[in-house]
């Protein structure tokens, strides 16, 4: 049981990180970013290129991933989502655009980074072994700690910085924020860049554990949407809760149900449907949006 809890906490930390960026973009712009998984994959490939290929220290490679995705996110908001949101009031316009960007990024990833699974050298060697009750490689523990610290740093940034307050104001009421002097256009771009940067950060962190390949984008987006649905769309604390809940459910399911085949996610999907029928806004979402 100790191993299951440890696996669940580790999975939860990485899932929460993945969901954060997605929910931030949704909160700010009401955009379901189907390309979030592809952004995560690009983050992984950038870290792979700098750390694995050029042998630049991991921390700088991670920063390169964050910077690359922040710039990419800003450009996507500035030239794609921003104009579409201004010109079309139909929500499906941004959804279709997001899906199109996901396909485009998949093609770009294939062209630039190839079709192969990529991996990087371990950042820390060794395995923590507590009497075979909990076995956890040190690099996973380190990534888990970095993920939790990043989440704390992100929440602090959103609460205590001027930019964070502006972004929260934007998320709560776009019109009121504009009337209060918030530069909506500018902060929308900053928010989208921040969300994309979080995808790059988690992609860069996890490439050290899971590696990266071009097919990871779609499934990652689906899991991120699951977490957001559990926690409540557009709520930061909801995304974190959704991530840890999904991680724990997955770890417990794989331990308890393994002998019955791959039914863990079937059980999770059924539970989620029942849950959403009772509480469609998720754990921490508001029923009015």
Partner 1 sequence: MNRRSIFSAASAALLLSMAQGSVVFAENPLLKIGFVGVTSGPAAAWGISNQRSMETRAAWINEIGGYKIGHVMYDIEIVSFDDQKDPKRAIAGMEKMAQEGIHYVVGPNVDNGAAAVRPVAEASGIMYFPYAFPKELYTAPASNAVLGMVANYQSGPAIYKYLIDEKGVKTVAFIAANESDPLSQRDSGLAAAEALGLEAVSANVTYQVDTTDFTPVLTPVIRTNPDLLVLSGVSPANAPQLIRSARELGFEGLISTETAQDAQVLREGAGDLANGFISVGGASTPEIASDMMNEFVARYTDMFGEYNDESNTKVYALEYILATLAANPAGIDDVEEFKMTMDTFEAPNPYMKGDAVLRYVGTSSFGQRRQLSVPLVVNVFNNGEFETLLVAEVD
Q: How far is CA 186 from CA 28, 39, 78, 192, in A?
A: 12, 21, 9, 10
Q: Which of 120, 170, 229, 241 binds partner 1 (CB under 8 A)?
A: 120
Check binding of 215 to partner 1 (CB under 8 A): yes
Q: How far is the CB of 65 from partner 1 (least distance, A)?
A: 17
Dihedral (CA of 262, 263, 269, 272) sign? negative
Residue span 235-264 as binding mask against partner 1, x where in contact by CB under 8 A, dash where not: ---------------xx--xx--xxxxx--
Q: Given the complex with partner 1, which of 116 and 279 has the nearer CB atom?
A: 116
Q: How far is the CB of 94 from partner 1 (least distance, A)?
A: 24
Q: Which of 116, 159, 186, 279 binds partner 1 (CB under 8 A)?
A: 116
Check binding of 280 to partner 1 (CB under 8 A): no
Q: How far is the CB of 109 from partner 1 (least distance, A)?
A: 10
Q: How far is the CB of 30 from partner 1 (least distance, A)?
A: 27
Q: How far is the CB of 288 from partner 1 (least distance, A)?
A: 34
Check binding of 226 to partner 1 (CB under 8 A): no
Interface residue list for partner 1 (CB under 8 A): 3-4, 7, 10-11, 14, 52, 106, 110, 114-122, 127, 129, 132, 135, 137, 140, 206, 209-211, 213-216, 218-219, 250-251, 254-255, 258-262, 265
């Amino acid at each position: 049981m100790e191993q299951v809890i440890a696996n669940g906490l580790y999975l939860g930390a990485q899932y929460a990180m993945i969901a954060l960026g997605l929910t931030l973009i949704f909160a700010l712009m009401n955009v379901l970013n189907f390309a979030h998984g592809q952004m995560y994959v690009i983050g992984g490939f950038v870290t792979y290129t700098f750390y694995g290929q050029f042998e630049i220290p991991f921390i700088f490679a991670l920063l390169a991933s964050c910077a690359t995705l922040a710039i990419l996110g800003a450009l996507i908001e500035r030239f794609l989502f921003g104009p579409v949101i201004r010109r079309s009031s139909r929500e499906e316009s941004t959804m279709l655009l997001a899906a199109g960007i996901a396909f485009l990024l998949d093609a770009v990833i294939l062209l630039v980074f190839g079709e192969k699974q990529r991996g990087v050298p371990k950042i820390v060697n060794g395995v923590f072994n507590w009497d075979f009750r909990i076995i956890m490689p040190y690099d996973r523990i380190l990534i888990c700690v970095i993920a939790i610290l990043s989440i704390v740093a992100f929440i602090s940034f959103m609460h205590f910085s001027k930019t964070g307050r502006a972004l929260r104001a934007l998320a709560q009421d776009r019109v009121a924020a504009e009337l209060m002097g918030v530069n909506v256009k500018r902060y929308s771009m900053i928010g989208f860049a921040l969300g994309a940067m979080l995808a790059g950060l988690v992609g860069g962190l996890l490439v050290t554990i899971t590696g990266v390949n071009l097919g990871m984008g779609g499934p990652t987006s689906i899991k991120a949407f699951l977490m957001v649905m559990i926690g409540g769309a557009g709520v930061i604390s909801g995304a974190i809760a959704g991530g840890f809940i999904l991680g724990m459910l997955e770890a417990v399911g794989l331990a308890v149900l393994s002998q019955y085949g791959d039914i863990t996610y079937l059980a999770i999907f059924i539970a989620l449907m029942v849950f959403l029928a009772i509480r469609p806004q998720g754990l921490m979402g508001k029923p009015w949006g």
